[in-house]
Amino acid sequence: MSGFFPTFRKLWPRRATLPQRLALLRLIAVATEERLALAPLLEAWAADQGGLQGDRVFRLAHFLKSGTPLPDAVEQVPRLLHDEDVLAIRFGAQSGILATSARQSIAELNAELDDRRPTVRGAFAYAGVLALVFIAISLFYYIKIVPAINNILADYDIERPPALAWNIEFADLVSSYWWLVALLLIVASWLFFSAKRGRAVRESLFERVFRTWRQLRWADVLEKLSLASAAGRPVPGALSTLARYHFDPRIRRELLFARNEVEQGAEVWPTLAAAGLLTPQEERLLDVSERLGNRSWALDKLAANKKRRVRRRLRVWSALTLPIIALVFGGYVLAQALSLFVPLVEFIFHQL
């Protein structure tokens, strides 16, 4: 029944949802493991899926049938998958471990799907909805209520209370720079809803404020190096693939530096430490694991430890963001209430 009713995602065509990404990655993993032709499976699923995502899957099947390699085909269909998923497919195809790489992404998405706790993005979305509601109510208040209160006070020669005077001064300030407020709202909306460029700007700003955010990118790199190492692929080759195709420009530059140094004969782990991927302690751990023959296990544990630390901090920040937003809007409501009721109290006492 839900398919007959319009939803926000149907009215606003954005990127694929998390369940849609999971379904597509599972189909790719199964087709690779069972050596099945992927294009017919995608066409059948696109017919069953319908909607915007069905059109995207059908386009992917069309590219595959025309002979386009899977990584290139996925990149040519905008908003079909997220950048992390596309990188996993590209890395798996280049390293010969496509099914393993897809399964690793599936595990990450399953963990994200099971985690129902509030996120920083959700907190800002909540703030945006509240801001729109408050703007509508405030316009009615300043256009209808404030002039009526001013007329009542003027008729009875009552001095304007400070709470109302400050509120009117604030409204005059906002009305003088309404174009700047409108521009900020437009930019904020673009940053929130844009699927690619806006996301890059969001993550760049977020990384500057919360520097641990970058560790998630590095943890993903370590996971991919672990997959390649477990499959017997050379680490320099995997590093070269990531340096060419990583979606984050900053991470890509650092990986290119590391790849160039390794190609010149430098050791892998000291070079990655110099690029900022590893701490000195992690470098020594990987050096020891190289000699003991458990390099893949060490890389996997380092990546999991990095992700666990960053996500714990993100949960703390998201838990703090909602109360701060509530306090800000609560303060605004208090200021509006004082500017409304203090003049009424003054009027009542004047009449006694």
pLDDT in tens, 152-176: 888 888 888 888 888 888 888 877 8
Let me know whether 131 and 252 are in one domain. yes
**Tokens 């390699």 appear where?**
69
Averaged pLDDT of the chain: 82
Residues 55 and 126 both lie in one domain: no
Confidence of residue 178 (pLDDT cuts 50, 70, 90): confident
**pLDDT (tens digit, 9 = 90+) per residue, 61-75?**
999 999 999 999 999
pLDDT at 226 over 80: yes
Same domain, 63 and 150: no
What's 69's domain CATH number? 1.20.81.30
Is residue 188 pLDDT above 90, yes or no?
Answer: no
Last residue within a domain, chosen from 70, 97, 114: 114
- Pairwise CA distance, residues 351 & 105, whole Å: 72
What's residue 66's pLDDT? Answer: 92
What whole-number distance in Å separates Cα of residue 327 and Cα of residue 320? 11
Asked, for residue 67, whether it belongs to a domain, the answer is: yes
Residue 92 belongs to what domain range?
2-114
188 within a domain of the structure (yes/no): no
Burial 150-179 (b: 16+ CB within 10 A, else e): eeebeeeeeebbebbeebbeeeeeeeeeee
If asked whether residues 109 and 124 sit together in one domain, one would say no
Task: Report yes or no: 65 and 32 within 8 Å, Cβ to Cβ.
Answer: no
Q: Among 114, 142, 159, identify where a domain stops.
A: 114
Structure-token match 């174009």, residue found: 179
Which residue among 99, 114, 129 closes a domain? Answer: 114
Specify whether the CB–CB gap between 83 and 97 falls below 8 A.
Answer: no
Does residue 78 sit in the same domain as residue 219?
no
Are 238 and 297 contained in the same domain? yes
pLDDT of residue 137: 87
Which tops the pLDDT comparison, 216 or 89? 89
**Given a cut of 70, is residue 116 above it in pLDDT?**
no
Q: Does residue 236 share a domain with residue 99?
A: no
Number of domains in the chain: 2
Residues near 330 by Cβ (< 8 Å), separated by ≥ 6?
A: none
Predicted confidence (pLDDT) at residue 177 exceeds the cutoff of 60: yes
Tokens in use for 99? 């099914």
